[in-house]
Structure 1
Amino acid sequence: MATTKAPPKKAKGGLAETTRFLLLLFLFALILRSFVVAPFVIPSGSMLPRLMIGDYLFVAKWPYGFSRYSMPFGLGGFDGRVLGQEPERGDVVVFRYPSSDEDYVKRLIGLPGDRVQMRGGQLVLNGRAVPKVRIADYLMPRTPNSPCRYVAPEAALPPVVENGETFCRYARYRETLPGGRSYEVLDQWTGEGDDTPVITIPEDHYFMMGDNRDDSADSRYPLDRDGVGFLHRDRLIGRALIVFFSTDGSASWTRPWTWFSAARLERVGRTF
């Protein structure tokens, strides 16, 4: 008796399966970046000494909730924020710069209703001076992406050379906010941002400052002077979470071995 042969099985895989896998991978990455964490690279020295140029961060999206500015590629298109909690004083925050598509990172200093003033280079919150204690100078390795940058020739301190390596030198202080949260700041000289009038932060806005006080465009300056002004809560993107990579800028695509020698591995894993 003749037997009927079963039809040959179709080979697994192929273009359709690959396309499906890539689409699922893209969808997963989009959800992760939209609602969990997003990468951010430090482009300037305004947050020295905590953050250096060439640091790569993961930014947590969920703590502050979500707005159209925190969604990738401008997805969403809605007004206001949904879910999440209010940020706290001292948080290192990534936000969308007003009037542009750039993302900035600064430290949140003032909450809605706070009265903020700079007086002789010292931060004053709600009428009380925030403790600012002089500590050892900050020595930053001079590298291709981190030159010795000072806001004025008079502010420059002599560099330090140790074991053949040159370090930029900055006066460093420890500042402690109400509630006990502390961090380090740099104070290069007596500049315009060291003395301001008393500013009351309006509802739904925050006051942001860079830790490198004399080299930061922040809420001490209005938008028409390239500052941040008061930052609206809708423009919050996320809270800095952890440094996952750092490079000193000496790597070259044509020299693969420099991809490893340029890495600042001692900075990886630093949290906030």
Structure 2
Amino acid sequence: MTQPDQNAVKKPKSAASEWWDTIVVIVEALLIAIVIRSFLFQPFSIPTASMQQTLMIGDYFVANKFVWGYGKHSFSLGRYGDFTLLDFELPISGRIFGREPNRGDIAVFRPVPQDIEYIKRVVGLPGDRVQMREGRLYINGEMIEREEVGRTIDTDSEGDSREVVVYRETFPEGTSHVIQEISDNAPLDNTPEYVVPAGHYFMMGDNRDRSADSRVLSSVGYVPFTNLIAKAEARFFSIQDNIPPWQIWQWPANVRWDRMFQSVYQ
């Protein structure tokens, strides 16, 4: 029986074959990335001040797309300027798989009157009564505990800087988070009582006086469960002034290293 020649040399591939193999690898990598973004985790960035200090302008975070299951907007893969990578509605009225959000979760969602993604904190659950009185949040008639923890300067996306009071707010379930207030007499600091409809959620920004949220019924309002897209989990990059992250030469002076690779629930 003839033994194979252990020193045999494989025939080199042609240039065309090598190019084809490279294309196949690239396509496979893109398909894997699309599957991950569609079904598991998707990155988002923060362009506005409505969730500061929890999520600052220029923060990049990853959001969990499967924890709440999948709704009609779950397969929007994001926008880059005026270009939408992928955005289509699934022909479903509810959600498949997953669980319902908890109070205090940070949600990426699509408001009913809008065609862009918002990010806010889940404050009101279905059936809750929510109201702001003199800057204080009331849920089901109970004033939510808050404790002042400091003061700082808050700058919005237009460069307008204001002194704000920083509070730690604690929900009845025991979870807490940081909020900011310019004052307790801003336009959305005194509201009527909102009654959250069944199957809907009431969202508010942590930067209370710089957030258009469910308190503005005409632009955000109550958010249907099916319109939730993902739950924010952790920051993985942060840079000042919304500088594009590909401008690596600006990193040394502008990257906020202390905000990277941290949970958004602190």
Q: TM-score, with normalisation over the residues of structure 1? A: 0.82
What secondary structure sits across from 1:260 in the alignment?
helix
Report if the CA contact (8 A) 2:111-2:221 is conserved.
no
Once the two structures are TM-superposed, the CA of residue 179 in structure 1 deviates from its matched residue by 1.0
Among 232, 235, 242, the residue aligned to 2:234? 242
Separation in 1, partners of 2:45, 2:234: 12
What is the aligned partner in structure 1 of residue 120 from structure 2?
Answer: 106
Among 71, 77, 99, the residue aligned to 1:85? 99
The yes-or-no answer on 1:19 pairing with 2:23 is yes
Report if the CA contact (8 A) 2:239-2:245 is conserved.
no
Among 175, 198, 202, the residue aligned to 2:193? 198
Among 213, 220, 226, the residue aligned to 1:218? 213
What secondary structure sits across from 2:130 in the alignment?
strand
Moved >6 Å (runs of 4+): 252-255
What is the aligned partner in structure 2 of residue 137 from structure 1?
Answer: 151
Separation in 1, partners of 2:38, 2:203: 24
What letter is aligned with 1:235?
N
The structure-2 alpha-carbon separation of the partners of 1:250 and 1:257, relative to structure 1 and needing over 3 Å to count, comes to farther
What is the aligned partner in structure 1 of residue 171 from structure 2?
Answer: 177
What is the aligned partner in structure 2 of residue 44 from structure 1?
Answer: 48
* Structure 1: gaps of 5 or more residues: 1-7, 151-168
Report if the CA contact (8 A) 1:220-1:229 is conserved.
yes
Q: TM-score, with normalisation over the residues of structure 2? A: 0.84
What is the aligned partner in structure 1 of residue 72 from structure 2?
Answer: 68
Report if the CA contact (8 A) 1:95-1:235 is conserved.
yes
What is the aligned partner in structure 1 of residue 3 from structure 2?
Answer: none
Separation in 1, partners of 2:33, 2:229: 17
Count residues in correspondence.
243
What is the aligned partner in structure 2 of residue 154 from structure 1?
Answer: none
Among 55, 58, 75, the residue aligned to 1:54? 58
* Structure 2: gaps of 5 or more residues: 1-9, 78-85
What letter is aligned with 1:138?
T
The yes-or-no answer on 1:32 pairing with 2:36 is yes
Q: Deviations over 1:132-179 (max 9, x none)?
A: 222211355x7x9683434xxxxxxxxxxxxxxxxxx31111111011
Query: Alignment identity in percent?
Result: 37
